[in-house]
Amino acid sequence: MTDMDLIQRAVNLNDQTAFSELMKRYHEPIRVFIVRLVQNLDDADDLTNLSFEKAFRSLPNYRPDYPFSTWLFTIAKNTAIDFGRKRTIPTQPLHSKSANSEKVHEFPLADQDLNPEQNLIRDQKNAEIRALVADLKPDFKLMVELFYFEGLGIEEIAEKTKKPAGTVKANLSRARVILQQKLTRKRPN
């Protein structure tokens, strides 16, 4: 079924299964896109879900003048930008003198680093994911490492591995499915 077929079913028949299928198709690409924007896996997961919530609410407004994926990535980009604006800490000079005084006022800066518990959780997640990636077939493992760990794009990976871009995309897609299945099996319900 095409994206447009699923969109029409979701809008006209209020078919949530159709939207779920769209979400399955685009969840991982949207998540990767947002990870690159916000540089934080936990925030990216939340923003990915928020992007799909916004898309679901706005689906009746979608017009097929542009591909659905473009529309969806625009929602994701705007969601990430809004998130970045809200997280921006108001800036003030570190030292300020009042008009009537030579006394210097200091403004303490909030510690932006993760606390030890957050560092441990992040490190454990990264170790779990790397262990799962290490168990993949060599071609899948290489593609995942180049794309996610080294941040190379599809074309760069194709050039480096001497494989067609379509093969790179297919291997990445299959690797994502395998990793998702492994993660689902590891996590208790």
Decide which of 66, 87, 108 is a domain's last residue. 87
Q: Which domain holds residue 49?
A: 3-87
- Which among 110, 107, 83, 109 has a CA at the least distance from the CA of 97? 107
Query: Phi and psi (nearest 5°) for 170?
Result: -65, -45
Q: Where are the beta strands (DSSP E) in 61-188?
A: 95-97, 104-106
Domain count along the chain: 2
* Each residue's pLDDT tens digit, 26-46: 999 999 999 988 888 888 999
What is the model's pLDDT at position 96?
A: 46
Q: For residue 100, tell me if it sits in a domain.
A: no
Residues 6 or more apart in contact with residue 10 via CB below 8 angstroms: 16, 18, 19, 22, 56, 59
* Each residue's pLDDT tens digit, 127-184: 777 888 888 899 888 988 888 777 788 888 999 999 998 899 989 888 888 888 887 7
Q: How far apart are CA 163 and CA 145, in angstroms?
A: 16
CATH of the domain at 71: 1.10.1740.10
> Beta partners for 96?
105
Q: Residues 171, 121: one domain?
A: yes
Look at residue 105 and tell me whether its pLDDT is greater than 50: no
Q: Residues 75, 131: one domain?
A: no
Q: For residue 101, tell me if it sits in a domain.
A: no
Residues 6 or more apart in contact with residue 115 via CB below 8 angstroms: none
- Which among 138, 129, 151, 135 has a CA at the least distance from the CA of 39? 151
% of the chain at pLDDT higher than 70? 83
- Which among 26, 10, 27, 28 has a CA at the least distance from the CA of 18? 10
Which pTM was predicted? 0.48
CATH of the domain at 168: 1.10.10.10
Q: For residue 105, tell me if it sits in a domain.
A: no
Q: For residue 107, tell me if it sits in a domain.
A: no
Q: For residue 103, tell me if it sits in a domain.
A: no
Q: For residue 97, tell me if it sits in a domain.
A: no
Decide which of 67, 87, 107 is a domain's last residue. 87
Q: Residues 70, 137: one domain?
A: no
Q: For residue 167, tell me if it sits in a domain.
A: yes
